[in-house]
Amino acid sequence: MLNLNCKGKFLELKTPAVMGILNITPDSFYDGGQYANADNAIEQVEKMVQEGAAIIDIGAVSTRPNAIEIDEADEWRRLKDILPVVRKKFPQIIISVDTWRSAVAKKAAAEGADIINDISGGQFDDEMFKTVAALKVAYIMMHTQGKPDKMQQNPVYGDVVGDILKYFTENLRKLEKFGVSENIILDPGFGFGKTVGQNYRLLSSFERFRNAGFPVLAGVSRKSMINHVLEIQPADALNGTTVLNTIALLNGADILRVHDVKEAVEAVKLVNYYRNTKEQP
C-alpha cells in the first residue's frame, strides 16, 4: 500500500484518490477564467471537496498546447490572491500548486501548499529539486517533451513508454542526491509532447510506471486524446474522460487529476467494487 506524507497531511492510497483541478488562469483549454477571483474559487473548491476530492490542484499558468508563457511575477500575482484564501477556508484539505518555478514553489509552500506539481519534472528550473528537498513537500514529477508553446510540434520517441521510464529513473536518482526518496508521485504527462497514439500507448502500459515503487497519477481529463478520437470539444468530453479514467484505474492509477470530481469518485467506487467482487469465490 502506498502512502504519502504531504507536509504533515497523510494520504493513504489503498483506494485511488481524486485530485480536483482549480485553474485560476484566463486561458486554460477548458475552464479558463471561471475561477480567477477568490469567491468563485472558494465555491468551486467547496463543491469539489463535498464531491470527494482528496487533493485540490491550483494552477496559475496555462500549460495547454501552444500556451504563451507568462512571467514569474504574473504567476505569483494570480496565486497570492487565491491560495491563502483556500488554505484558510479548507485547513485539512491537501493543496497542490501546479508550477515549474522553484521561486513560486517556495512562496506557495509558505502560504500552505502541501504538494508541488511540476509539469517539467525539474527540466525547466535547475533549482527545483533542491527547493523541493528543502521545503519537505510532496512532489509530482511529470514528463513533458518541451515547453507548452512547442511541445506538440513534433513529439518523437524511440519507444514512448521506455523513454519515459528512463526519464523517471534518471530524475529519481537526481532527486535522491538531494535526500528526496519518498513522497514522490509520477505522472507520465498525457498530452504533454505526445501524439494521440502515444497517449494511448502510455495508457495501455500504465501499470509499468508503478514498478518504480511510487504512486502514479493519470491526468486525462477532457484532453485532446479524447477529443480527437471522438471529434468533440472539451466541453463535451466528460463521458470520454470517465471511460479513460476507468481504464487508468484498471491499469493501476493511484490518483486521478480531473475537472469533474463527482464522476471520477464514482469511477473509483465502481472499479473498487468490481475488483472486490472479482476476488470473491
SS (H, E, C) the chain: CCEEEECCEEEECCCCEEEEEEECCCCCCCCCCCCCCHHHHHHHHHHHHHHCCCEEEEECCCCCCCCCCCCHHHHHHHHHCCHHHHHHHCCCCEEEEECCCHHHHHHHHHCCCCEEEECCCCCCCCCHHHHHHHHCCEEEEECCCCCCCCCCCCCCCCCHHHHHHHHHHHHHHHHHHCCCCCCEEEECCCCCCCCHHHHHHHHHCHHHHHHHCCCEEECCCCCHHHHHHHCCCHHHCHHHHHHHHHHHHHCCCCEEEECCHHHHHHHHHHHHHHHHHHHCC
Q: Which one of 150, 223, 275, 278 is the catalytic residue?
A: 223
Reply yes or no on whether 88 is catalytic.
no
Which residue among the candidates 88, 257, 275, 278 is catalytic per the annotation?
257
Active-site annotation holds for 257: yes
Query: 260, 241 in Cβ contact below 8 A?
Result: yes
Cβ atoms 191, 234 nearer than 8 A? no
User: Which residues carry out catalysis?
Assistant: 223, 257
